Structure 1
Amino acid sequence: MMPHYVTTKVIVALNRQKKCVNGSKILVLGVSYKKDVEDVREAPAVHIIKELWRKFALVTYCDPHVRSLSIGGRSVERVEFTDEALREADCVLILTDHTAFDFDRVAEKSRLIVDTRNAITRRDLSHVYHL
C-alpha cells in the first residue's frame, strides 16, 4: 500500500463531495501492520497519517489492538468504534481490516469511506471508494 496513492485517493474522494482535505476529519480504522495484531512497526498507516497531517487533515484513529500511537513525537487521538465517531468523520479510511470492526455498520453510518482492504464487499455504494 503506497502512502501517497492512498492519500491522493482520500483527497479525490473528499473533492467529489466538495470538501478539501485541509480541516477535514479523517478517521483511520486500523493502524497496525496487519489484521488483529498490535504491531505498528513498518505499518503504512504511520506514513499515511504523516501525509494527511502535511495536508492539514484532522486525523483520529480507532484500533482495538493499538492503545496509543505517536508519530514523530506527536500523538494521534484515539477514539472508540462508535456510530458517533463514524458519523462525525468527513472520511473513514480503512487501513487494517480487524475482525472487531463491523464493516456493514461502517458502510451504513459513514458519510464517505476509502477502503484499502476491500473490507466493504458491496460495490453499489456511491460513498465507498475502493483501491
Structure 2
Amino acid sequence: MKRLPDDIYRQCVAIAKSYYAMLQRRKEQEEEILHGSAPPDGQPHGSGVGDPTGRKAERLIAARQRNEQKIRAVEQAWARMDDDTAREFIRQNVFEGVPMQYIDLPVSIPTMKRMRSKFVCMVAEELGEI
C-alpha cells in the first residue's frame, strides 16, 4: 500500500478519530435546523439590508455538507475493512481511542498497525485526497 503524505495522513487520522464527535455535531445541526434561532424581539437591529436568516441557513447547510462528507468517508472506509476483526479493531483503536496493547483481539500489534494504516488510506481515498 502506498504511503500517504504526512499532512494527508494526519488529517485523515484526525477525521477518523473525531467520528463520534462528527455524529454528535450532525445531531446538533439537525436540532438547530428544526428549532432555529430565537424569535425576533421587535427591536431594530441595525440598518443593514439583507437576509440574516438566509445567510445563517447557507452557513449551516455548508457546514452540514462538510460534516456529512467526512462521516460518509469514515463509514465507507470502515465498511471496506476486510473482516469483523479489523472493523472491531478500528472501532476500539481509532474511534474510541483504546491503545493497541489493550485491545484483546486475535491479531498482533504489527498487524493492528497495518490495519490502521490501511483504514487511514481508505479514508483518504473516500475523501478524494489520493
Normalised-by-shorter TM-score class: under 0.3
Larger radius of gyration: 2
Greater length-normalized contact order (CA 8 Å, ≥ 6 residues apart): 2
| Structure showing the higher helix proportion among its residues | 2
Query: As a proportion of its length, which structure holds more strand?
Result: 1
